[in-house]
Amino acid sequence: QLVSFDVDMDSATITLLFDETVEKDSFSVAALQLSSSTGAALNLSTSTFSLVDGVDVTFAFVKADLDELTRLKICPTAAECFVSFPSALCLDMNGNAVVSAVDVPVLGFTTDTTAPVATSLVEFDMDSGTFQLLFSETISASSTDFAMLQLQSFVLNPSTTLQLQAGAVISADDTVVKLQLCHQLR
């Protein structure tokens, strides 16, 4: 039976603590579901996890799951973080199925404090005045501050730069965000 669970959104890990040793080879990460009180839920993908039988199982989120949890606003805070799973999640050392759990609140929680990084310019369309930026993680698209963006002719030693002042976000929260330049820059 699950005793508690911890989530670290900054290091992208989850730890489940059981009341007895569970068999690591029987563990199915895909059976785990994280959810929020808003009703949003996500079944996790297969992942690597602790490689020993024990009462605690720790594993890292795959990047796609972490991005989707962020996009769906699942586990942004401890109050919005719950786990559910069927008895098929894993077996104890005697081959007995674990007791299923529904909407168990997180016990230990660490928020994501790592700032996202713009990693590349995916597309730049001068005809439509749009461009797309790829970020290291899902971002809140509405938080885009155009005054913090600068277009330049070269990465190193740019001969021309243009400080953006205004524009519009034309995509939802994601790792790729599409932006519209203001009319004066087109």
Give the C-alpha separation, 76 to 71, whole Å.
10
Which pLDDT score, from 0 to 100, does residue 186 have?
45
Instruction: State yes or no: pLDDT of 83 exceeds 50.
Output: yes
For residues 53 and 10, the model is more confident at 10
Which pLDDT score, from 0 to 100, does residue 149 have?
85
Give the C-alpha separation, 131 to 124, whole Å.
4
3-state SS assignment for residue 81: coil
The tens digit of pLDDT for each residue in 149-171 reads 887 877 777 788 878 888 888 99
Q: Which two tokens stand for residue 96?
A: 């007995």
The tens digit of pLDDT for each residue in 99-142 reads 999 999 999 999 999 999 999 988 989 888 899 999 999 999 88
DSSP string, 40-79: -EEEPPP--B--S-EEEEEEEPPHHHHHHHHHTT-SSSGG
